Structure 1
Amino acid sequence: MQPLSIKNADLRQIRLIATDLDGTLTKKGKFSPKLLQTLEKLAKHDITVLIVTGRSVAWVDGIRTYLPIEGAIAENGGIYFPSSHDEPEILISIDNLVSHRQALRETFQELQNFFPHLEESFDNTFRITDWTFELQGLTLSDLQKINQFCQSKNWSFTYSTIQCHIKPLQQNKANSLLQVLKKHFSILSPYEVMTVGDSLNDEPLFNPELFPISVGVANISHYLSQLKHSPRYITNKPECDGFSELANLILSQKNL
């Protein structure tokens, strides 16, 4: 296995890592001691970490309290939690939350007419901006048909390794991250930000016109054929081990 090859000049500039959570920071679906050690080392060297996840607001509100991170974006770009004590910020325009949720529900129920086995995700009740259902049992062809249906109803659709998401058209990880960077980290240039992910819903973070330094952990290989934008670099190791591999490479340049 060859060492991960990233230009040293790119590594030395990095001041903020915007990373996916599930499949990127987890290992077999769980947090590990290695993750906590890695995040603590990054914080010690003044490398800011933002989580950009499809997880619900309730879930993200919990983890921001316990992990050594600067903030977290939930629901694939719907809401930002600046820190463990600050109030969350809704990143998309929603006129009425009740009618918004009802419209999402109606779209999901229509989908069930074509795919009767679809099951609402366990955390969907706690969501605000998107609607989620289980990925299990869906083929790539099914997912493409669901995407076309959602677009016909003026929604966007994406999926990760664990869930499918129906959401507003402009709601994605890239748009939300750009908003957060502009408001909270305006002094950073695009070359001081590294984006990291592992799945299809991370594709917006791999757009080189927006984020020139992007990385996929090794398990992104399952989705490369489906991505319009691929990560600039790919780690040798999957999941949390790949993220730690990347972090150590960044830190090795900071210590020169």
Structure 2
Amino acid sequence: MTAKRLQALATEQGRQALAQIRLVATDMDGTLTQAEEFNDSLLVMLEKLQTSGMPVLITTGRSAGWVHGLLHYLPVVLAIAENGGLYFTKANRYPTFLQPIADDHRQLLLQQFNRLRQKYPQLKESSDNPFRLTDWTFDVTGLSLESLQWMTDNCHENGWGFTYSTVQCHIKPLPQDKASGLTQVIAQQFPDLAHHQVLTIGDSPNDESMFDPAQFPNSVGVANVSHYLDALAHHPTFVTQAEEGQGFSELVKALFAAMNP
């Protein structure tokens, strides 16, 4: 499947979907970033959304420690870290956990990482791993789709979940994913919103659960999601023409046009 077969955002169907939106839930790396960095355009778009009264939250695979600091600087209402494991709000800088975590959780994650290293001894723990609370990460660079599938199967056989992004691979609790975490956050922080009023945005396999139309019917992939379509069971409802942060800017402009016809 190619990106051309996905529904273009600039259609009447896309406009009707965007007109319903009351909350934006977006991935970060490869979606808000451009060439792995935030640029001026992103900050302008986030500030415009904030000023218009459209709340934005980030849902990322990045670590709790990393996200805790980032939330202080960006005009967003809250941030979900570690692919749905926990979240921080502006008002409460202590993490709210979305999955139960046992005292020996990190040791058990390390055991599973070592199982994977028995077959792939070259695996390198990610530099942000010491700042994580709910998952265990290692670098994705150089891993084939076949290797990633084997890791997924091995983790499942041992009672763990597994996902990956453009940045890293994640060993995590089986029920932990972005959609389940986002669902809990909506119930806790935005109880009056229906899921069709939430716009989910992403670009890679760890965003797949947010592309599930049974959970979030209005989803958008920035154009670089096309690199992963063959690996995704769920595809975004709409796709932008531009990649990465430029795709997010394209989306925000379309959202404003739908909000102010």
Shorter-normalised TM-score: what interval?
over 0.9
Letter in 2 for 1:135: V
Instruction: Within 5 Å, give how 1:154-233 maps onto structure 2.
Output: 154-233=159-238
Question: Structure 1 residue 116 and structure 2 residue 121: aligned?
Answer: yes
Letter in 2 for 1:148: D
Contact 1:15 1:48 in 2 (8 A): yes
Structure-2 change in CA distance of 1:123 and 1:133 (3 Å) = same
CA distance in 1, matches of 2:131, 2:94: 17
Question: Structure 1 residue 4 and structure 2 residue 10: aligned?
Answer: yes
CA distance in 1, matches of 2:15, 2:114: 51
Which of residues 141, 144, 148 in structure 2 aligns to 1:143? 148
Per-residue CA deviation, residues 237-256 of structure 1 (Å, 9 max, x unaligned), is 00010011001111112223
Which residue of structure 1 lines up, in the alignment, with residue 254 of structure 2? 249
Per-residue CA deviation, residues 15-55 of structure 1 (Å, 9 max, x unaligned), is 10100000000001000000000001111111111100000
Which residue of structure 1 lines up, in the alignment, with residue 136 of structure 2? 131
Which residue of structure 2 lines up, in the alignment, with residue 82 of structure 1? 89
Residue-pair matches, total: 254
Q: TM-score, normalised by structure 1?
A: 0.96
Q: TM-score, normalised by structure 2?
A: 0.94
Structure 1 moving runs of 4+ over 6 Å: none
Contact 1:65 1:84 in 2 (8 A): no
Question: Structure 1 residue 35 and structure 2 residue 62: aligned?
Answer: no
CA distance in 2, matches of 1:3, 1:199: 18
Shift of residue 152, structure 1, vs aligned partner: 1.1
Which residue of structure 2 lines up, in the alignment, with residue 45 of structure 1? 52
Q: What CA RMSD, in Å, does the superposition of the two structures yield over aligned residues?
A: 1.4
CA distance in 1, matches of 2:123, 2:93: 36
Per-residue CA deviation, residues 189-231 of structure 1 (Å, 9 max, x unaligned), is 1121000000000000001011010000000000111111100
Among all aligned residue pairs of Structure 1 and Structure 2, give the percentage whose two residues are the same amino acid: 49
Structure 1 gap ranges (5+) = none
Contact 2:21 2:199 in 1 (8 A): yes
Per-residue CA deviation, residues 66-89 of structure 1 (Å, 9 max, x unaligned), is 000010000011111122544220
Which residue of structure 1 lines up, in the alignment, with residue 61 of structure 2? 54
CA distance in 1, matches of 2:222, 2:14: 17
Letter in 2 for 1:54: G
Which residue of structure 1 lines up, in the alignment, with residue 105 of structure 2? 100
CA distance in 2, matches of 1:254, 1:3: 14
Letter in 2 for 1:89: T
